Amino acid sequence: MRVVFIAPNYPPEMLEYTRGLAEIGAEVYGVGDTPKEMLPASAKAHLHDYLRVPRILDEDDVVQRVTEWLRGRSIDRVLSNWEPTVILAAKIRERWGVPGMSVDAVRGFRDKQLMKDRVRAAGLRVPRSRRVRTEREVYEAAEEIGYPLVLKPIAGAGSADTYRITSRAELDQTLPKMRGVPEASCEEYIDGEEFTFDTVCIGGKPAYENVAAYLPKPIEARNEEWISPVIITVRDIAQAKLAKGLALGRGVLQALGMVDGFTHMEWYLTSKGEAVFGEIGCRPGGAHLVDQMNHTSDVDLFREWARAVCHRRFEGNTVRKYNVGIVFKRAQGEGRITRIEGLEAWSRACGQWVVEEKLLPVGTPRRNWKHTLLSDGHVMVRHPDWSEAHRMSFAAATDIKLFAAPGR
């Protein structure tokens, strides 16, 4: 099984998918814009060969270079798990006649307005929305949809450049921030709890399913620096509260023509019990969500994804043993991390239930919290009981504190 894997070392979690492919016996041909000599040792160990391209996002150029590089060799799969390159992978598949989703199908997972149109056409509940390219179109859409509304990039990932807007005055203030975004989706704001629906699919059917709760919603966490964002995977996804969301998610997969691989969907549960579609990508969730899912079931989904896309089999554990909470911390102050308070006490109190602690060490420059959900590191905890996982997660959110100050 020969596999072309786009961007095998970026973002960093792609290293795990590269490992997964190699471990199920695939011959992995990596394509990226990182110089070969700068690839991490863990990537080199799992790559059969590697092509460096000047610009990984220059799709036409990459398609041509990869075609010339592999001319005369048969390739069985062309894969990508990084949002900006999923269409590139589809273009190479179409060029070579390799199995997998078409460019049109992948575009339905990438273009937020197109995906909503297709999901709506299947009779599923989606927010009212319009594609907008100019300020005039934004104002017209806002008048049609009403406030509050959400403005976000058509082809964005996560909640970057995403704004909740409650009035014309707020819209006036937000539009200058969107001037670098060529197309946006202006849509109805859904007031409710926000969850994920994550899958590893084979033939469009979930072989593994996951639900995680965002606490609070990403759009709120992205706009308040003091918040420590919490995400908790739900052990009991068979509970009645989540039934409509799972049915919605499975319907979305069918509506968009999913085939094999990861999907990451977000949806809302309103106070009236209505499940409303948010958006979906045909790739895994970021921000260590797959790590959480692994700890939820004691499974290696990096490897099982590889098995699913290459051999259309899933052999991992699907029993959900734990609720797993991840807590992202943001340092107070600017500059380098100077001290961490509350971590030792929290770790002692949680004991065996702590599964990861990856806070930035003292002396490290703090990250720009506006640019990454990962912030200044995270802690992760798991427990069979939701109430305990929730309690320990929010104890970390409130009791662990990082401080930063200017310095060398």
Per residue in 335-356, pLDDT (tens digit) is 999 999 999 999 999 999 999 9
Residue 280, strand partner residues: 265
Over residues 15-31, mean pLDDT: 98
Q: How far apart are the first and last CA of the chain?
A: 49
The pLDDT, as a whole number, for residue 64 is 97
Distance of alpha carbon 192 from alpha carbon 203, whole angstroms: 32
Distance of alpha carbon 37 from alpha carbon 28, whole angstroms: 17
Distance of alpha carbon 227 from alpha carbon 220, whole angstroms: 9
The pLDDT, as a whole number, for residue 187 is 94
Q: Is the pLDDT of residue 182 over 70?
A: yes
Which CATH number is associated with domain 192-405? 3.30.470.20
Tokens of 160: 């970057």
Q: Is the pLDDT of residue 232 over 80?
A: yes
Q: Where are the alpha helices (DSSP H) in 175-288?
A: 218-221, 243-256
In the structure, how many helices (H) and strands (E) does the chain have? 14, 19
User: Closest by alpha carbon to 264, among 6, 13, 7?
Assistant: 13
Distance of alpha carbon 73 from alpha carbon 303, whole angstroms: 25
* Per-residue model confidence as pLDDT tens digits over 115-139: 999 999 999 999 999 999 999 999 9
The pLDDT, as a whole number, for residue 160 is 66
The pLDDT, as a whole number, for residue 177 is 87
On whether the pTM is more than 0.85, the answer is: yes
User: Closest by alpha carbon to 62, among 80, 44, 37, 76?
Assistant: 80
User: Do 2-100 and 128-188 fold alike per CATH?
Assistant: no
pLDDT band at 373 (very low <50, low <70, confident <90, very high): confident
* Per-residue model confidence as pLDDT tens digits over 316-332: 999 999 999 999 999 99
The pLDDT, as a whole number, for residue 156 is 65
The pLDDT, as a whole number, for residue 178 is 87
Residue-averaged pLDDT of the chain:
95
102 and 90 Cβ atoms separated by less than 8 Å: yes
Q: Is the pLDDT of residue 217 over 70?
A: yes
The pLDDT, as a whole number, for residue 269 is 98
The pLDDT, as a whole number, for residue 180 is 83
301 and 288 Cβ atoms separated by less than 8 Å: no
Q: Is the pLDDT of residue 408 over 70?
A: no
| Percent of the chain residues past pLDDT 70, beyond the cut | 99
The architecture (CATH level 2) of 128-188 comes to 2-Layer Sandwich (3.30)
* Per-residue model confidence as pLDDT tens digits over 135-151: 999 999 999 999 999 99
Domain boundaries, the chain: 2-100, 128-188, 192-405
Distance of alpha carbon 164 from alpha carbon 292, whole angstroms: 28
* Per-residue model confidence as pLDDT tens digits over 254-301: 999 999 999 999 999 999 999 999 999 999 999 999 999 999 999 999
| DSSP state string for 285-322 | -TTTHHHHHHHHHT--HHHHHHHHHHHS---S------
Q: Where are the alpha helices (DSSP H) in 102-154?
A: 103-110, 112-121, 135-145
CA atoms within 13 A on the CB side of 318: 12
Residue 151, strand partner residues: 163, 186
* Per-residue model confidence as pLDDT tens digits over 73-85: 999 999 999 999 9
pLDDT band at 199 (very low <50, low <70, confident <90, very high): very high
The pLDDT, as a whole number, for residue 158 is 55
The pLDDT, as a whole number, for residue 159 is 57
2-100: CATH topology is Rossmann fold (3.40.50)
